[in-house]
Structure 1
């Protein structure tokens, strides 16, 4: 183990100890956020309702942790049933499936104070702010249920119904004073007929949360749920994360363990970055490629010289010369006649006698039956180099 690694390990352990001391001395802070999550034991979570839900619905409850669209695509009910939705945002396709079920005789118990304009227009109601006071009472309008009331005294949503269609039945109201209809502020619980079924909409989802279930000493919630027929109920559950039985679920759901896990990942990342920078692999030295073209030409030239094949060398030189004339000077080299000599003279400005002598040697190199000497090759090479300069 290297000395650097030991230093990093000691620093990391010290940080963990300091963080642990801070966590031990830290006073717990109550989370008052309205999360409506069945896994949360915070005041506005649904943990208690989730635990008691089976008894509330007499064992006829199914919890669906997927969208209504996915649920009804997979499992189609042949009989009408109840649907429970608690402050859950659903897509338009899911609502189409729900409305189709309600039209066929199902009932929806819906706790929400925030819906889309399309849904509000379809069902015939609007939301409004009912009160700016810190507390008020929720009470049912049925005279048999007047003892079922609930005091909303902690972070109320202050939402009720403003516009209500004439055929909508009001089942509950918001009151300034308990059992006093004269102090009514607004309707908060309504029944909407839709096809063969009904929508029961309550504008205060807080009544289902841990805080109000523990605080309530009457049966307000049970009275609301009693409007649903005694039959199978499907609850589309709202969760922050998909349920899992993996160890990570336990770690991430406990703040101290979650912070320690994130700190561990951060420490490992820093360790990897520093070590990758300090222990980088040696970059190999790559030699540039050598230009072997000149060596190749010398080898070919030496081969021809050793074989004494001067005629072939003159033919190659003539071929190269004529190609340069065509490409650089744009002169046709098909006929090496007097007209060709004049054009080459005009383009290059070289002596016409020198050009004639060079052309004669080029023709000799092209003639396969001509007798070529070493002196002819040397002479032609000199003349062609002078012309191409």
Structure 2
């Protein structure tokens, strides 16, 4: 087996082991999500209510995990009670519920966000929202006026507004800084009755386990007659706590996850076998001409032989003039100066000064200073530009 493939395989195994250990050893944290799941023991699940509901409805309660549309298409029912607690059901299912109510059934709808066409049918046009940290749910009926429940943890603050005249208010939300608003209403619909409560949070585990809270829930459901009751729940299956539960719960995401893992394994396998060996970097040969020139220049500078350097610069210049400008350099006279001025376009003063310096460089007995070398170097370079 290729050595690189072994390394990839070991890394992959280590990553999977780390994920498994994190899943096994992760600490239990309180889940404060408002899931309203009958199997959840988290604060805002319905586990407690689900187990107490049988006694509350005198063993006449039936939990239905089908949507109302499918259920009522399969079964024809006599007038009965219907309960919906924060269940996101479809529009056609809502219509089926209204149809059953119109035929004599009673519905207890505990939903914080009612679909608009359903709320219009019930008898209100909008819902108010408060952002207070806590409030009190209180019934307005005289026989229940002493029963209330305090919501001190994440209340939705929703209530009913623009209520039609035929709607009876059964409960309200009381807050310190805001005026009271209706949260529990009753309306006749055909032969039946609809009860709508905008704050289903009081049925969750967190509040039902508080002393005295169960009485409020009993009072709310006491409005339903003593007969068969259907509770349309979200699901009867236990929700997995595996960290990949959302991906594995959706077929499309699940197949994409397995395809990704399979593709990753294939990539590692083929990449390890086909990977080209590293090609050594060969440094190109250095051009040492520049280093040579610098060395020679430093040598002349150290020796202080400015005259010789000046003579070589003059010789190089005259050679360029002969080859590039085609001017005879035998005699550095006035005629030479005129030709050089015409060919280069430089001022005559510059050319005359350059010729004088060239003649000094060619004279072996002339005295040359460092400044003369710098001056001739600049002049000759400027003329040939």
**Which bin holds the TM-score, normalised by the shorter protein?**
0.5 to 0.7
Judge conservation of contact 2:63–2:232 (CA < 8 Å) in 1.
Answer: yes
- 1:187 maps onto 2:182 in alignment: yes
Judge conservation of contact 1:127–1:159 (CA < 8 Å) in 2.
Answer: no
Q: Secondary structure at the match of 1:275?
A: helix
Rounded Cα–Cα distance in structure 2 between residues aligned with 1:229 and 1:49: 19
Change (3 A) 1:25 1:88: closer
Q: Secondary structure at the match of 1:229?
A: coil
Partner of 2:204: 209
Q: Secondary structure at the match of 2:120?
A: helix
Q: Offset of 1:109 from its aligned partner?
A: 0.4
Partner of 2:147: 148
Judge conservation of contact 2:5–2:272 (CA < 8 Å) in 1.
Answer: no
Q: Offset of 1:135 from its aligned partner?
A: 0.7
RMSD: 3.2
Partner of 2:53: 53
User: TM-score, structure 1 length as denominator?
Assistant: 0.60
Rounded Cα–Cα distance in structure 2 between residues aligned with 1:20 and 1:94: 41
Rounded Cα–Cα distance in structure 2 between residues aligned with 1:134 and 1:203: 17
Partner of 1:272: 266
Residue of structure 2 aligned with 1:230, choices 226, 236, 239:
226
Partner of 1:69: 69
Q: Offset of 1:203 from its aligned partner?
A: 0.6
Partner of 2:242: 255
- The within-5 A match list for 1:281-300 is none
Change (3 A) 1:231 1:17: same
Rounded Cα–Cα distance in structure 1 between residues aligned with 2:224 and 2:152: 27
Judge conservation of contact 1:34–1:44 (CA < 8 Å) in 2.
Answer: yes
Rounded Cα–Cα distance in structure 2 between residues aligned with 1:260 and 1:164: 43
Q: Secondary structure at the match of 1:35?
A: coil
Change (3 A) 1:174 1:23: same
Per-residue CA deviations over 1:333-385 (Å, capped at 9, x if unaligned) read xxxxxxxxxxxxxxxxxxxxxxxxxxxxxxxxxxxxxxxxxxxxxxxxxxxxx
Q: Offset of 1:63 from its aligned partner?
A: 1.6
Structure 2, unaligned runs of 5 or more: 249-253, 275-385
- The within-5 A match list for 1:123-142 is 123-129=122-128, 131-142=130-141
Judge conservation of contact 2:169–2:186 (CA < 8 Å) in 1.
Answer: yes
Rounded Cα–Cα distance in structure 1 between residues aligned with 2:229 and 2:247: 41
Q: Offset of 1:47 from its aligned partner?
A: 2.4
Judge conservation of contact 2:135–2:175 (CA < 8 Å) in 1.
Answer: yes
Rounded Cα–Cα distance in structure 1 between residues aligned with 2:37 and 2:135: 24
Structure 1, unaligned runs of 5 or more: 244-248, 281-389
Per-residue CA deviations over 1:136-175 (Å, capped at 9, x if unaligned) read 1001112222332111111111111111111211111111
Rounded Cα–Cα distance in structure 1 between residues aligned with 2:96 and 2:26: 48
Partner of 1:169: 168
Rounded Cα–Cα distance in structure 2 between residues aligned with 1:120 and 1:270: 51
User: TM-score, structure 2 length as denominator?
Assistant: 0.61
Rounded Cα–Cα distance in structure 1 between residues aligned with 2:246 and 2:195: 42
